[in-house]
Amino acid sequence: MHRIDHATAAPGNLFTEGNPATATPATTVTDDWLNDVQGNICDVVETAGLALVKGDYTQLRQAIQAMLIASQKAVIINNATFEASVSNGEVVRWDSGNSRFDEAIADSTSNNRAVGIADVTNSKVYLYGECPIFSGLTPASRYYLDASTAGAITTAAPTDKVSVGIAKSATTLWVDIDPGQTTVAVPTVTKLTSGSGTYNTPANARQLIVRMVGGGGGGGGGGTTGSGYGGVGGDTSFNSVVAKGGDAGAPTGGSGGTGGVNGTGTASLRCGGNSGVNGFPAWSAGGSPAGGVGGGSVFAGSGGSGAAGRANTGAGGSGGPSSGVATGGGGGGGEYVELIINSPAASYSYAVGAGGSAGVAGTSGFVGGAGGSGVIVVTEIYY
């Protein structure tokens, strides 16, 4: 459109009636200006979907009202940029790295973060409301983001449920993206109970919470001549982080083993194991004195006299009792360590500490209890 630009126009491209006293001519109304005005008015009417009717003085008003109503039917982003594979009617997500809209897919990853429906032809994205660019929809059916074909919608809800909207008709979808229906993956747990090897991080895991304990020390043997120390509990490790095993209990009225403590590597939490109870020295009160109780760990306490620590708890074994003579000291409990790993690597090396061996019995005594083996418990958190 343009302002009147004939040579008779007043300054500022305005109309004038002219002035004979000053020889100023009236502005000539040109055909190109009239056609420009007519074309612009008719374009508004026809764009609103109305057929031009001669003598109907309300059509411009009707067209403006229709456009205002239409603008209230949907929330739309204009001048949108799309990845090359995106087609009309596909569900899209925002690709911040490339500042464009890409196809979304219900795969339980960030690719399921749908924002709207693509109208590639008109460089628009329908964020909410009526989207009239479809064909073959089933009226009143709810549609979901598809899990197998990027950008597609389906009436069969996948495991990763991202609701896209409800069909108003075969050609129009009421868009109402609901990411709140996305199924959150349930955390899984991997328990490593012995030996060493490689832990492989599950696909799509975004965080690992690792809890582990070193092996418990073995209890010392009860009795006099010939009784022996328990074995030291083995260290448990996950990659470079170590949970120390408990020390061995001493025989023949000796001291309990020190609990595991001060393992290496950076951890979120460390808790040293409890020390074992000392054995009784020479006994003159008659009866059968008990051995020193093994030290507990975060996962469990130890059993009674001469009892072994429970497997995969890191509890120290108790000292061996005797028949009226000295008893063995309890083994120390293993150290507890907890670490949180965000954005985990594909794999980690690990080793589970073995429980310390039982101290052998001496004269008039009994064997100590073996220490409980360590354990690694990995909780896997997903997107």
Q: Per the structure block, which two tokens stand in for 220?
A: 């010392």
Arithmetic mean of pLDDT, 375-380? 98
Query: Could you tell me which residues are beta bridge partners of residue 325?
Result: none
Among the three residues 37, 55, 71, which one is the final residue of a domain in this structure? 71
Q: Per the structure block, which two tokens stand in for 170?
A: 């075969």
Q: Are residues 131 and 236 in the same domain?
A: no
pLDDT at residue 12 is higher than 80: yes
Q: Is residue 10 part of a domain?
A: no
Among the three residues 128, 156, 181, which one is the final residue of a domain in this structure? 181
pLDDT at residue 78 is higher than 80: yes
Domain that holds residue 355: 185-383
pLDDT at residue 108 is higher than 90: no
Arithmetic mean of pLDDT, 320-337? 94
Q: Are residues 125 and 227 in the same domain?
A: no
Arithmetic mean of pLDDT, 128-149? 95
Interatomic CA distance for residues 228 and 9, integer angstroms: 118
Q: Are residues 228 and 354 in the same domain?
A: yes
Q: Are residues 227 and 372 in the same domain?
A: yes
Q: Helix, strand, or coil here: 21?
A: helix
Q: Is residue 12 part of a domain?
A: no
Among the three residues 130, 164, 181, which one is the final residue of a domain in this structure? 181
**Residue 2 CA to chain centroid, in angstroms?**
57
Q: Are residues 163 and 37 in the same domain?
A: no
pLDDT at residue 70 is higher than 90: no
Q: Are residues 48 and 128 in the same domain?
A: no
pLDDT, the chain, mean: 93
The confidence score (pLDDT) of residue 180 equals 58
Q: Helix, strand, or coil here: 110?
A: helix
The confidence score (pLDDT) of residue 346 equals 96
Question: How many domains does the structure of the chain reveal?
Answer: 3
> For the segment 265-290, what is each residue's pLDDT rounded down to a tens digit?
999 999 999 999 999 887 666 678 89
Q: Are residues 112 and 84 in the same domain?
A: yes
Q: Is residue 11 part of a domain?
A: no
User: Can you point out the beta strands (E) in the chain?
Assistant: 74-77, 91-95, 100-103, 114-119, 124-131, 142-145, 153-154, 163-167, 173-178, 188-192, 196-200, 205-213, 236-238, 241-243, 269-271, 336-342, 347-351, 375-382
Interatomic CA distance for residues 286 and 227, integer angstroms: 20
The confidence score (pLDDT) of residue 356 equals 97
The closest of 185, 184, 114 to 145, measured between CA atoms, is 114
Lowest mean pLDDT among 21-35, 178-192, 238-252, 271-285: 178-192
The confidence score (pLDDT) of residue 31 equals 96
Computed on alpha carbons and rounded to an integer, the radius of gyration of the chain in Å comes to: 41
Q: Is residue 9 part of a domain?
A: no
pTM: 0.59
Please state, in angstroms and as integers, the Cα–Cα distance from residue 116 to each residue in 134, 166, 171, 184, 215, following that order: 14, 13, 16, 21, 55
pLDDT category at 117 given cuts 50, 70, 90 is very high
The closest of 7, 322, 352 to 191, measured between CA atoms, is 352
Q: Is residue 3 part of a domain?
A: no
pLDDT at residue 68 is higher than 90: no
Q: Give the rounded percent of residues in the chain with a pLDDT score beyond 90.
A: 84
The confidence score (pLDDT) of residue 377 equals 98
The confidence score (pLDDT) of residue 159 equals 85
Q: Which residue type sits at 176? A: D
pLDDT at residue 378 is higher than 90: yes
